[in-house]
Amino acid sequence: MLLDPEELNRKHQRWIALVTEMHAEFQFTRNASVAWTNLGKPLSESTVALVCTAGIHLKSQPAYDLLNPHGDWSFREIPGDAPAQAIGVSHSHYDTEAPQRDIDCVFPIRTLRTLVARGVVGAAAKTHYGMMGFVPNGTPIVEETAPEIARRLAADGVDAALLTPG
């Protein structure tokens, strides 16, 4: 069931009020401009990466710093061939029960592999990226984390990135 725009706006305003109340240092980061580039070739010929802000990481990697009141703007590389069961979640600002059971609900690695096998997507990237979505001041994400991930994706020949939240 789709919500009407007014209901979505009310929910968004409640979310803003809650975040502001709970995190006094929270600073909303607005994009000065939207950088949009049309896909230069068919999806069936494109390499696609996943970039997820749901706090995903390999279970063998360090968890995100959940106790830092400023959040954790680091990222984790997720090898493209990592088994789904090797991927875990560390996040304190949403209910992680569902992704603990099925990582595909926030990091659709199995779905991406299925789309590649069916020829809908040309290839899955050799490396995907996980991040923590809770960062009250988004400046480090905008100035450090996102540009570094974008540089790595470009160097790996990725044509498109699917961004998924928690």
Per-residue pLDDT tens digits for 69-92: 888 889 999 999 999 999 999 888
Average pLDDT, rounded, for the chain: 87
Min mean pLDDT across 6-20, 60-74, 116-130 is at 6-20
pLDDT in tens, 37-55: 788 899 999 999 999 999 9
Ordered by start, the domain boundaries in the chain are 40-164
Distance separating alpha carbons of residues 78 and 81, to the nearest angstrom: 8
Confidence of residue 7 (pLDDT cuts 50, 70, 90): confident
Rounded to an integer, the average pLDDT of 98-122 is 93
More confident residue, 57 or 96: 57
Query: So what's the pLDDT on residue 31?
Result: 65
**Strand, coil or helix: 36:** coil
Q: Which amino acid is at 125?
A: A
Distance separating alpha carbons of residues 10 and 23, to the nearest angstrom: 20
Question: Per-residue pLDDT for 35 more than 70?
Answer: no
DSSP 105-129: GTS-HHHHHHHHHTTSSSEE-SEEE
